[in-house]
Amino acid sequence: MFPDDTIAAIATPLGEGGLAVLRLSGSRAFAIAEKCFQPVGKSSQKPSAAPTHTIQFGKIVRNKNIYDSLAPAGGEGRGEGELEVIDEVLLAVLRAPRTFTREDTVEISCHGGLLPAKLVLDTLLAAGARLAEPGEFTRRAFLNGRLDLAQAEAVADLIHSRTELALAAANEQLAGKLSQRINRLRDDLMLTLAHVEAHIDFPDEDITPDTKRQLLQRLADGIAFMDELLRTANEGQLLRRGVRAAIIGRPNAGKSSLLNQLLGRDRAIVSPVAGTTRDTIEETANIRGLPVIFIDTAGLREARDEIEIEGVRRSRESLARAEFILHVLDASEPLTGADKTYLAEFAGKKRILVLNKSDLPVQLLDSAFRIPQSALPLVAVSCVSGQGIEALKDAIKSLVWAGEIKAGMLQVAINSRHQDALNRARAAACLAADALSAAATLELVAIDLRIAANAIGEIVGKTTTEDLLDSIFSAFCIGK
What's the pLDDT score for residue 20?
A: 94
Report the candidate in 143, 123, 127 with the shortest Cα–Cα distance to residue 135: 143
Q: Is the pTM of this model over 0.95?
A: no
- Separation in Å, CA 281 to CA 13, 297, 298, 314, 319: 24, 7, 9, 10, 13
Question: Cα–chain-centroid distance for residue 403?
Answer: 23
CA–CA gap between residue 411 and residue 289 (Å, rounded): 16
Return d(Cα 271, Cα 255) in angstroms, integer: 11
- The Cα–Cα gap between 146 and 102 comes to 7
What's residue 70's pLDDT?
A: 43
Q: Which residues of 157-194 are buried (b: 16+ CB within 10 A; e: fewer)?
A: bbebbbbebbbbbbbbbbebbbbebbbebbebbeebbe
DSSP string covering 138-182, please?
A: HHHHHHTTSS-HHHHHHHHHHHH--SHHHHHHHHHHHTTHHHHHH
Q: 378: which strand partners?
A: 353
For the chain, 480 residues long, give each residue's pLDDT as a single digit of tens: 456 799 999 999 888 888 999 999 999 999 999 999 999 998 999 999 999 999 999 999 998 765 554 444 444 444 455 789 999 999 999 999 999 999 999 999 999 888 999 999 999 999 999 999 999 999 999 999 999 999 999 998 888 888 888 888 888 889 998 999 999 999 999 999 998 888 787 766 667 777 888 889 999 999 999 998 898 887 787 788 888 898 888 888 888 888 888 888 676 544 454 444 445 678 888 888 888 888 887 655 555 556 656 666 676 777 777 888 899 988 888 888 878 888 888 778 888 999 998 888 877 765 544 555 446 788 999 888 889 999 999 999 888 876 666 656 666 677 889 999 999 999 999 999 999 888 878 899 999 999 999 999 999 998 877 887 888 888 888 888
Q: How far apart are CA 168 and CA 191, in angstroms?
A: 33
* End-to-end CA separation in angstroms for the chain: 15
Q: Does residue 46 come out as left (phi exceeding 0), alpha (psi in the -120 to 50 range) or beta?
A: beta
Question: What are the backbone angles phi and psi of residue 25, rounded to the nearest 5°?
Answer: -140, 135
Extract the runs of DSSP E, i.e. beta strands, from 11-117.
19-25, 37-39, 54-63, 83-94, 105-111
Structural domains in the chain, CATH included, are 7-132 (3.30.1360.120), 154-232+412-473 (1.20.120.430), 242-400 (3.40.50.300)
Q: Which residues pair with 57 in a beta bridge?
A: 90
Q: What is the pLDDT of residue 373?
A: 47
Rounded Cα distance, 1 and 429, in Å: 35
SS3 label, residue 384? coil
Q: Write down the pLDDT at residue 459.
A: 93
